[in-house]
Amino acid sequence: MSREISALQKVKNWKVGTTLVMLAVVMIWLLPTLGLFVTAFRSQDDSIASGWWTAIFNPFHQDWTLDAFKGVFSSTWNLGPAFMSTLAISVPATILPITFAAFAAYGFTFLEFKGREVWFSMIIGLMVVPMQAAIVAVLQMFVAFDKWLMTIPGNEYGDIHLAGEYPAGWIVHSAFAMPLAVYILRNYMMTLPNALIEAARIDGASHFQIFWRLIIPMSVPALASFAIFQFLWVWNDYFVAFLFVGKHTVMTYQILSMLGQHGEGWQIVMAGCLISMLVPLTVFFSLQRYFVRGLTAGSVK
């Protein structure tokens, strides 16, 4: 009798109903992405003639091919250089804002000064300001700066300039990410034991030493979490790259151009998407834990 109950209990513990509902939900999330993976490996003729699911139902009557990948790396689409440009924007645009934000977060957390609340309220308010609000004026500022650079002897033709180059992207990405970065890092630093910092003060350590030797090593989880967040954001960005780093073509820009030509089959744009997703998906799945921990640390106590 008791054995029967335990068998029944086992089935109940499996929660078949809930699992089935979740399977159905997950399908909605997976199917469009699966379409991307399958289409990228189909021939042009196949992807024009039939839906990607026919390739799954009938895998042996398909021309599985890497043509689309050859296509995106060919001189038509140049996704290789675009990959490098994306990397060249993303890595510095991740490291720089973290460095700046960490200093500011320390100041807001551990230093007492007049106006601290006001400055920090401003940072909170700025988290909400849309990029669009600043873009026109920042672009004009960069153009004016480049004009000024041309007055420097030897640079009459503007060989050295800011607009359209990587540093412009780094600066803009850093500035726009700053409010959120400071907010996240400060929230984390607030949870560090104050007694430790006071003890270090009494031992004669300067704020600079405490920041560097104590707070930074202790803040690694929050720093990592923001780094992942910012890297994914910059890597996937189209807006800032298009507006400020126009001299270098990034992947999102190329994919949007490919998308414009989907009439010649979806395989090209899907192969492009697949390449562009490799790095973020790797970062994401290998560091998911940090990412999730960081997301939840700020909002849920």
Burial 127-165 (b: 16+ CB within 10 A, else e): eeeeeeeebeebeeebeeebeeeeeeeeeeeeeebbbeb
Taking CB under 8 A as the criterion, the residue among 51, 59, 196, 199 binding other proteins is 51
Q: Of the candidates 223, 203, 234, which has an alpha carbon nearest to the alpha carbon of residue 89?
A: 234
| 223 part of the interface to other proteins, by CB under 8 A | no
Quote the least distance from Cβ 157 to other proteins, whole Å.
19
Q: What share of the chain is helix, strand, coil (3-state, %, to 5)?
A: 80, 0, 20
- For other proteins, give the closer residue by CB, 113 or 148: 113
- Tokens describing residue 95: 């490291």
- For other proteins, give the closer residue by CB, 112 or 153: 112
Taking CB under 8 A as the criterion, the residue among 65, 134, 224, 246 binding other proteins is 134
Residues from 3 through 32 that contact other proteins (CB under 8 A): 15, 18-19, 21-22, 25-26, 28-32
Residues from 81 through 120 that contact other proteins (CB under 8 A): 81, 84-85, 87-88, 91-92, 95-96, 99-101, 103-104, 106-108, 111, 113, 116-117, 119-120
Report how far residue 277's alpha carbon sits from residue 279's, in angstroms, rounded to the nearest whole number. 6
Residues from 228 through 247 that contact other proteins (CB under 8 A): 232, 235-239
- For other proteins, give the closer residue by CB, 153 or 226: 226
| 56 part of the interface to other proteins, by CB under 8 A | no
DSSP secondary structure string for all residues of 58-92: SGGGS---SHHHHHHHSTTT-HHHHHHHHHHHHHH
Helix (H) or strand (E) holding 103: helix 79-110
- For other proteins, give the closer residue by CB, 47 or 230: 47
Quote the least distance from Cβ 270 to other proteins, whole Å.
7
CB atoms within 10 A of CB 74: 12
* CB 241 within 8 Å of CB 253: yes
Residues from 139 through 178 that contact other proteins (CB under 8 A): 140-141, 166-167, 170-172, 174-176, 178
Total residues contacting other proteins by CB under 8 A comes to: 114
CB atoms within 10 A of CB 10: 9
- For other proteins, give the closer residue by CB, 2 or 132: 132
- For other proteins, give the closer residue by CB, 2 or 18: 18
